[in-house]
């Protein structure tokens, strides 16, 4: 792992280059002071400063290049002040590669029992102890600066699904206004991405993209998807959104998703992904393999003394059998959750590697077709 002192970080900034294009799908290199992302890239989610059940060294081992942490959660507990005291999030959690922090916007809407939006920001109650807090665009950037993440997200309003046209319009304009404030307060070496909103309304999505494009951010995210809308609606947004983003900037599709969603998004030109699916489903005993999903608790695995996926190179598949994973899950052993999580994250990261290789060989579409036909066999 490279180590950077504060001074070195100050002179380094993001560098983004497209390596290869295959249709709209592309491989890129996003160079950050703490490491390079090879895109399309998957970012494991470390909500509260830990990717659930994983150690940082296990994340290095499976090839994670970046993780995501949630600003809302770190702000409430342990507090960005504690993290800053520790020397920033990287030192606090002992992770040397890049970290992306979200803006806090999504969690304020999804987790807070009370929220009041004004032009300045959002007043909300902590889901932990009910205490009252305020975060606006300036506060979000300041919290993320204290955390010391590598990529920071502009504070947005994530409109719930469904929302009216009028509400969504008003909301995206507030998001644009806040984005301007974020630009003002963000500082190198942190890289600031904007978040496109606009709900399920195509013209509002385009309007949001246009407004934010004009502000010339270093990266663009599409937010407010996978929030309850029908899958077809999400795929429609995916299909037209990437081409509305500046081609020479990274395209990040927030909170998505299942492997089939990622394939669709890569095809449309998205570069970056995060999702809790691999870690959350692992804890519930659902394992992802190239032949589809496996519910490891099922009794059919009790006497199956073969690896979960003989083709897989992860620690779990190299060392343990389906029978043992079935036993650990039924016995509620933490090791079972750990081994499931290692496998699912390795699966996602390996999946992205295969996607990149296919793009480089101009065979992404046939890769996608073959991959899906295997994966959906027993889905």
Q: Least distance from C-beta 94 to a second copy, angstroms?
A: 5
List the catalytic residue out of 22, 156, 274, 350: 274
Contact 347, 261 (CB under 8 A): no
CB-based burial of residue 331 (10 Å sphere; 0-12 exposed, 13-18 middle, 19+ buried)? exposed
* Interacting residues toward a second copy by CB under 8 A: 48-50, 52-57, 73, 77-78, 82, 85-87, 92-94, 302-303, 305, 315, 319-321, 323-324, 326-328, 330-331, 333-339
Nearest approach in angstroms of CB 133 to a second copy is 18
Indicate the residue among 79 and 292 with the shorter CB distance to a second copy: 79
| CA gap 345, 340 in Å, rounded | 9
Contacts of 121 (CB under 8 A, 6+ apart): 134, 135, 136, 137, 138, 139, 155, 178
Sign of CA dihedral 220, 109, 157, 81: negative
C-alpha gyration radius of the chain: 20
Task: Give bridge partners of residue 21 from the DSSP assignment.
Answer: 26
CB of 326 to a second copy, least distance (A): 8
Nearer to a second copy, 327 or 353 (CB): 327
**Shortest spacing between CB 82 and a second copy, in angstroms:** 6
Query: Is 102 among the residues known to form the active site?
Result: yes
304 catalytic per annotation: no
Q: At 105, is the secondary structure helix, strand, or coil?
A: helix
Closest to a second copy by CB, 70 vs 140, is 70
Q: Is residue 315 a contact partner of residue 342, using CB atoms and an 8 Å limit?
A: yes
Decide whether 173 or 333 has the Cβ nearer to a second copy. 333
Per-residue tokens: 356: 């990149």
Catalytic positions are 102, 274
């Amino acid at each position: 792992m490279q180590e950077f002192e504060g001074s070195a970080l100050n002179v380094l900034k993001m560098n983004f280059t497209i390596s290869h294009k295959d249709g709209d799908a592309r491989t890129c290199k996003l160079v950050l002071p703490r490491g390079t992302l090879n895109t399309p890239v998957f970012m494991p989610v470390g909500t509260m400063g830990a990717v659930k059940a994983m150690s940082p060294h296990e994340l290095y081992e499976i090839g994670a290049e970046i993780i995501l942490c949630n600003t809302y959660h770190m702000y409430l507990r342990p507090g960005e002040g504690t993290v800053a005291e520790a020397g920033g999030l990287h030192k606090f959690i002992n992770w040397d590669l890049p970290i992306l922090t979200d803006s806090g916007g999504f969690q304020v809407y999804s987790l807070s029992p009370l929220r009041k939006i004004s032009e300045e920001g959002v007043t909300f109650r902590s889901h932990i102890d009910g205490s009252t807090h305020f975060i606006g665009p300036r506060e979000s950037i300041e919290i993320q600066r204290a955390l010391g993440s590598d990529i920071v997200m502009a504070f947005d309003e994530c409109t719930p699904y469904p929302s009216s046209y009028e509400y969504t319009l008003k909301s995206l304009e507030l998001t644009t206004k806040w984005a301007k404030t974020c630009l003002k307060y963000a500082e190198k070496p942190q890289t600031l991405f904007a978040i496109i909103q606009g709900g399920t309304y195509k013209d509002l999505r385009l309007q949001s993209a246009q407004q934010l494009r004009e502000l010339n951010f270093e990266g663009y995210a599409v937010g407010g998807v996978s929030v309850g809308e029908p899958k077809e609606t999400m795929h429609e947004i995916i299909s037209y959104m990437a081409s509305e983003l500046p081609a020479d900037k990274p395209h990040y599709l927030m909170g998505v998703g299942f492997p089939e969603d990622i394939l669709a998004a890569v095809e449309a030109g998205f570069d970056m992904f995060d999702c809790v699916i691999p870690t959350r489903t692992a804890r519930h005993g659902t394992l992802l393999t190239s032949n589809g999903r496996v519910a490891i608790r099922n009794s059919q695995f009790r006497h199956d003394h073969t690896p979960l996926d003989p083709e897989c190179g992860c620690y779990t598949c190299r060392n343990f059998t389906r029978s043992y994973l079935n036993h650990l899950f039924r016995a509620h052993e933490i090791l079972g959750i750990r081994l499931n999580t290692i496998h699912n994250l390795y699966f996602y990261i390996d999946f992205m590697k295969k996607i990149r290789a296919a793009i480089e060989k101009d065979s992404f579409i046939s890769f996608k077709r073959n991959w899906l036909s295997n994966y959906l066999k027993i889905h």
